[in-house]
A and B are shown apart, each in its own frame.
Chain A
Amino acid sequence: MKASCYLIFAVVLSASAPLLPAAPFAFRSDDRVALVGNTVVERAQRFGHVETLLNLAAGAEVKGLTFRNIGWSGDSVFGDARSYFGAPKEGRDRLQRVVKEVKPTVLLVCYGTNAAMTAKKGWTDDPAGAARSKAGDEESLSLFVETYGKLLDLIVGGAGTELREVVLISPPPLENLGHPLPDQSANNARLAIYRDAIRDLAGARGHRFLDLFQRMGGNKLKAGEQSRGPLTINGVHYGEAGYVLIGESLVGGLGLTLSGNLSANDSSVVALRKSIMEKNRLFFHRWRPSNETYLFLFRKHEQGNNAKEIPMFDPLIEKEEQSVESLRAGVFSKL
């Protein structure tokens, strides 16, 4: 694994004041943070930087902070990717159920890349949206906003009374990596429009808005011009260094700061990140196990007896979370 190179504690972020309603954002002890979205969210768990940075930005006095990454590659605000044998509604129901089970106090939601990139080709199979998602930019955008609102109704409504913060995050910008990869400048310009719409949606609903798009470069991609020092592997999906920047941008966007003087390569930080990744691995097998057809769905009469193993991941996750907690304390003790 390539060494990651951020100097988390040396950087003072947040040059511009975040657009926040009322009180500044702060994590509290025993906060449960759920991350919802598509590929950009799902892959964050494989790198661990986002959770590591948020964890440390919360500060030493905040204890028992836990994260649940329930991002799903290729997902849309209709919940397309989360459905198995049924229509996308099954996916939305699943998301609602999982959010409810996870009992978040803070919900970080990031959708929009797929709709912005597939405006004319359609980005959902939902019967209520398939045709409109193909109809053109304006129609696609209004469908996205309308559906995003409904999705938030569904998951915020079902999340339980503990939920106190909802943050809508604009997707990170795209990059041009040059031939033979496609030019993303037109998509990125469209993404800027989606960003505006997400900001307005957050405002209308009284949620916080975090402009990750702007913080990571915004709408400055020019046709035919290659991005300098690219952070994505294909113009869309971020790699190791990219997720460091995403994590830092989220910290800054929430109005938090990192102070101190420890490198990401410090053994204590590395150990913390590894433990976070292991916890994520265990949680993945818990909330999104393989073989669901046999364990829970229409062939459960054959293997449903083995579904009892799935909750057996819970104590393992808890144990790993204790390790995260103590490793985190270890990092703070070095400051």
Chain B
Amino acid sequence: MKRFILFGLLLLAGALAAPAQRGLKEIPNPDVKAQEAGFKLPAGAKINLFAADPQITKPIHMNWDGQGRLWVVGSPLYPHIKPGEEETDRLYVLEDTNGDGVANKASEFAADLHIPTAVLPGDGGVYVANSTEVIFLRDNDGDGKSDERKIVLSGFGTEDTHHLLHTFRWGPAGHLWMNQSIYIHSHVETPYGVRRLLGGGMWHFRPETGRLEVFMKGLVNSWGHVLDEWGQSFMTDGAGGDGINYVFPRFVGVTSPRASRVLRGLNPGQPKHCGLEIVTGRHVPKDWVGTLLAPDFRGHRINRFRLTYKGGSYISTKIEDLVSSTHRAFRPIDVKMGPDGAIYIADWYNPIIQHGEVDFRDARRDHTHGRIWRISFPERPLVQRPEIVKAQSAGLVSLLDSPEGLTRTRAAVELRQREAKEIMPALEKWYVSLKEDQALQKLRAIWGSQAVGAFQRSWAEDLVSGSNPKARAGALRALYYTAGEEKTSRALLEKAVEDPNPQVRLWAVSVLAQLPWPDTVTLALRALEKEGVDKYLDFALWSICREHASRWLPVAQERNPFRHTWQLFFAGRALKQPVGISHVLKSLAEGEFETEAQLDEVISWIANVGEANHLEVLFSIALADGAPKSRQIRVLRGLRDAVRLRKQRPAGRLGRLNRFLERGNGAVFAEAAALAGMWKLEEAREPLEKAFLGPETVSSTAALEGLRALGGAKTKQFFSTTARNVGMEFGKRLRAVVGQTRLDPKAGAELAVSLLQGARRAEDVQVVVDAFLVNKNGPSALAEVLERPGSAMKPSMALVGLNHAGSSANKSEALIEAFRKAGSLKPMKLKLSSAEMEAMMLRVAAEGSAARGEQAYRRAGMQCIVCHAIGGAGGIIGPDLVSIGASAPVDYLIESMLEPSKKIKEGYHTAVVTTQEGDVVAGAIARQDDTEIVVRDAKGMEIRVPKKEVATTSVSPVSLMPMGLTAQLREDEFVDLIRFLSELGKEGPYKTTAQRFVRAWEVLQPHGRTRDAIGHYGKKIFTENIESYQWTPLVTRVNGTVPGEELPRVVGRGKERYGVARFRLQVNEAARISFKLSGKLSDLTVFVDGTEMKGSREGVSDVIELSRKKGTCTVTVVGLLGGGMEEFSVELLGNPGVIEVAQ
């Protein structure tokens, strides 16, 4: 079999015609007709060209003004100005004066900009994000060109030009919102002092007061923000992949520097988006109103989401796309509702996306094209363009209640320019005319008063007392903006923190966080006393406990300032300090913490912060007769963290731990063994050595950990003797080498080579090499011994070692070279010349099969699925690949497979933490705070490192993706795999659809009992809760199907073999629920919990319907294998708010 290592040579034999301009052949036809031909639209919708190059080029962002003109910034200079180039990026104004849906007037308002990334008309001019500055441009002489330029704000970072300040938007109260992305560090002076935002986040700006504040932090590329009808904020992320994110003040999302806690979005596994708009108005079909439009620029489409409000939080469901295209240069990066009620799209137009991974001067970066598209519904009437700037007071006020969001916003912006005394009579007249149930209109009136600069606080306070929870939350948000500046009603907030709706409580807490009151935290934590504390409220409370620590902490040293002990526990835990710990331990003894989950939280908090006497209480919990195993494990693990991270041990006699070591197996043993080592408990040595040499591999490995931590001369002697004992079982000798290496890499190396020479399995080599790679001196120690004569290894095993060493963050050229010599390996050909690359790309296009490629992708040995997800199903270590094919050029994919470290996606760089003892921990920084760094390693494990022990942290140039994965592929398989990746996200079968397939399953491994028991129970046996059943994860193919061939063959009667797969279904409210089973139905049986279900036939599918109460249930599908049952799928139907796959 030809292995991939050789393929460089094979390629050279092929006829190569093309020169070095690789990939340029794929450049799509820029003709507008060609692009028009590629669009796919929902029924009733029509797309037309509104404006195009050469009228406009490279549009990045756009917004409408009050006169119905579209302002667009474009940047041919992007991504980086060349020496000698002028700053000549443009601000265009486009106008459709005759209402035919096509711009018939276009002008350049400014032509002296430098990579402008946002534009927002208002205040008699236009705000522009111009690299480090926000500038304001105005046309004073009416010639349609800017003749005044003012710096409004300065000090925004430019560390990456696709992260620059962006996404300007006016909110309903006439405030300006702005975002920045992950690499940007901004330091901006305001009349209130300097404001700093390091990393991504959103700014809130009121130009008239000069107040600029950070609203939320985090997200990778937060390129979309919209405020919904009730004034709540939602954001998208161009690199985060959580779809829609609900955000609020002090929200912290992924990648925010030094964040010790982050919140996730509403749609894990969704494509990444640039832009966000909410559909409003009378022109679009009724059921479109309120849905969100999120351009998936990688996938050449605009996704649509429907939000379902669920008691203060949201469920976001992907529904049918707004538009998709087969044209590879269609790059929608902004979408806005227009003044005629139609939908407008800024098309950056480029065959490749333009992240920093692609060379700044790559010839495929398009610098000349760009389009604005318009989507309308020809059978529905357009909206009459409103008269905003010329409207008299009453008319302008009435526009605040327009069905079109754009009109409402532009009316608010117009109010910014008007005198309050002129507007307020009309606004008051409208407000008093509103009826009790017109809460939305009241909120709009409140926003109007804010926009005109005459905020009616009493209106907002009245609304907070109203019956509509969305309005109560919205009114509190209106109060939030000036909470620190004006007097706030205490009675109002006391009531609001105990509101039945968690979102209202969230906003009450957010207002409290702005106030100088001494008891903000004691008030805020009352929010915990009501039912339904969701993750957002929990986060806001955690945040205020920390931010206002100085207000409650001194009191808590004396007494419990809160109503209940568990509130004190909540606050102490938020601070990671042992505050009120004796109160909590007393309550623990009195049984105030009832559930196992509460108990778990208390245990882990005390383990994190407790002193010796507190830990003693914990230890006694584990030692208590009848303590469940899970609790024992939790305590022992906590005690281990306490000694490892803080050098704290229980006050009493530690030898009591031996109780758990006597039985010599199980998870409790493993925890106890590790703990004994950390405690340096000499009396545990004997049981540990016994277990190390015992028959159970799991216990032996656990004992290894214990002995290693115990350390000392005796341990070294034991490892050395064991490793040299040729009569000993190979696995035990291997473990002894690992132990010795962890204690002393040099001594380990002396033992390692003879075992590496005897190794027959890749895992064995990896285990040994790993032990060296986790120490900064390890690789050189092993290399030195391997270099000696007589160290020859089997080539295949040396290759494993080489690949492993090569893809480590602790990379050592010496060790790689040593393995090469030991295995007499020829240098690996991983880098392709441009001619070879060209030929490979042609082969991918001509011969590659995506279907076969998907099989290769799913192959266990490839490990793709372990690290990457496609549409949310799969691993989380690497980027989600849901639309990689649509975004990345084929040469990029090939290169990334061969040289994973060459280009690394932002947010996926490997951090390397080296401790003072020389341990090397590599992975992604999961979170960190003042006391510790938590690293998520390549296996997905979280490793906590105390800050005190950190010697250095750095960003590794090496990817977590192992090198040499392709070595196990034949050349044709590699071609197929690349083809598969290149199809992901493109229009066709490898694009995930809006259908709600169950993508993450668990499958049953063969089990001894089923053959006999099936006779008695029937297939129901597979749904029984049998403890020794082993269920392993399986994700579906991209098309949502479970492949029969990948199901473990579970034995039934005689020669019958079954595939059994299950998932958990969460039912959020009592309802009639339904799902659809597709496949060869005659061989499929479906159970909900233990009950077999019969569905009604719909073509090749069965629709199963049943009534369920709120809660979770298990759906099990049993398929008879061998009878042509190739695949099946399950799709959830009905309202997404009602059922979802349980996490």
Contact = CB atoms under 8 A, between A and B. Distances in A.
Nearest to B163: A293
Nearest to B453: A180
Contact of B161 (A2, A291, A313, A316): A291
B191 A73 contact: no
B754 interface: no
B191 A123 contact: no
A105 interface: no
Interface string B349-364: 0000000110111000
B154 A39 contact: yes
A299 B356 contact: yes
Interface size class of A (residues with CB under 8 A): 35 or more
B84 interface: yes
Nearest to B159: A293
A75 B158 CA distance: 16
A291 B360 contact: yes
Interface string B186-201: 1111111111101000
Contacts of A235: 191, 210
Interface in B45-100: 79-84, 87
Interface stretch (A9-17, A110-118, A151-159, A222-230): A110-118
A292 B164 CA distance: 12
Interface stretch (B142-150, B757-765, B788-796, B987-995): B142-150
Contact of A114 (B81, B193, B208): B193
Contact of A2 (B148, B160, B196): B148
B902 A123 contact: no
B209 to A, nearest CB: 5
B836 to A, nearest CB: 20
Contacts of B132: 73
B159 A297 contact: yes
B360 A74 contact: no
Interface stretch (A94-102, A192-200, A304-312): A304-312
Contacts of B453: 180
A316 B453 CA distance: 48
A290 interface: yes
Contact of B360 (A301, A303, A316): A303
Given A74-B155, A81-B155, A281-B87, A39 B189 contact: yes
Interface string B125-159: 00000011000000000000001111110110111
Contacts of A181: 191, 208-210
Contacts of A74: 155, 186-189, 194-196
B889 interface: no
B162 to A, nearest CB: 9
Contacts of B360: 291, 294, 303, 306
Contacts of B195: 74
Contact of B80 (A84, A180, A290): A290
A118 B194 contact: yes
B957 interface: yes
Given A290-B158, A302-B356, A1 B189 contact: no
Interface in A287-329: 288-294, 297-299, 301-303, 305-306, 309-310, 312-313, 316
A46 interface: yes
Contacts of B902: 301-302
Interface string A44-60: 00100000000000000
A83 B191 contact: no
B183 interface: yes
Nearest to A298: B955
B83 A42 contact: no
A125 interface: yes
Nearest to A118: B193
B356 A291 contact: yes
B8 to A, nearest CB: 22
A117 B361 CA distance: 44
Nearest to B84: A316
Interface in A6-36: none
A59 B66 CA distance: 52
A75 B82 CA distance: 28
Contacts of B186: 74
A205 interface: no
A298 B151 CA distance: 31
A291 B158 contact: yes
Interface string B451-466: 0010000000000000
A114 B194 contact: yes
Interface string B241-261: 000000000000000010000
A257 interface: no
Interface in A144-202: 180-182, 184
B115 interface: yes
B365 interface: no
Contacts of A313: 83
Interface in B887-941: 901-904, 909
B646 interface: no
Given A184-B191, A302-B357, A233 B150 contact: yes
Contacts of A123: 193-194
Contacts of A316: 83-84
A207 B155 CA distance: 29
A305 B187 contact: no
A237 interface: yes
Nearest to A175: B191
A305 B132 CA distance: 24
B151 A237 contact: yes
B148 A1 contact: yes
Given A237-B151, A306-B80, A73 B955 contact: no
Interface in A228-247: 233-237, 239
A3 to B, nearest CB: 11
Given A114-B193, A118-B194, A39 B155 contact: yes
A291 B155 contact: no
A306 B359 contact: yes
A236 B359 contact: no
A297 to B, nearest CB: 7
A293 B208 CA distance: 34
A180 B193 contact: no
B185 interface: yes
B183 A234 contact: no
Interface in B274-318: none
Contacts of B196: 74, 80-81, 125
Contacts of A39: 154-155, 189
Given A73-B155, A118-B194, A293-B159, A234 B187 contact: no
Contacts of B903: 302
A220 interface: no
A330 B952 CA distance: 57
Listed residue (B115, B160, B901, B955) with the most chain A CB atoms within 10 angstroms of its CB: B160
A322 to B, nearest CB: 16
Nearest to B162: A291
A124 to B, nearest CB: 9
Given A118-B194, A123-B193, A85 B209 contact: no
B361 to A, nearest CB: 7
B161 A290 contact: yes
A291 B189 contact: no
Contacts of B159: 84-85, 290-293, 297
Interchain residue pairs A-B with the least CB separation, the first 7: A74-B187, A73-B155, A118-B193, A81-B187, A312-B83, A290-B158, A74-B155
Given A123-B194, A182-B191, 17 more contacts: A74-B186, A81-B187, A81-B196, A85-B257, A114-B193, A121-B193, A123-B193, A182-B192, A182-B210, A234-B191, A288-B158, A290-B115, A291-B161, A291-B360, A301-B902, A302-B356, A309-B82
25 contacts: A1-B149, A42-B155, A43-B151, A73-B132, A74-B155, A74-B188, A85-B183, A114-B194, A121-B193, A123-B193, A123-B194, A125-B196, A182-B191, A184-B191, A237-B189, A285-B81, A289-B158, A291-B161, A293-B183, A294-B160, A303-B359, A305-B359, A306-B360, A309-B80, A309-B83
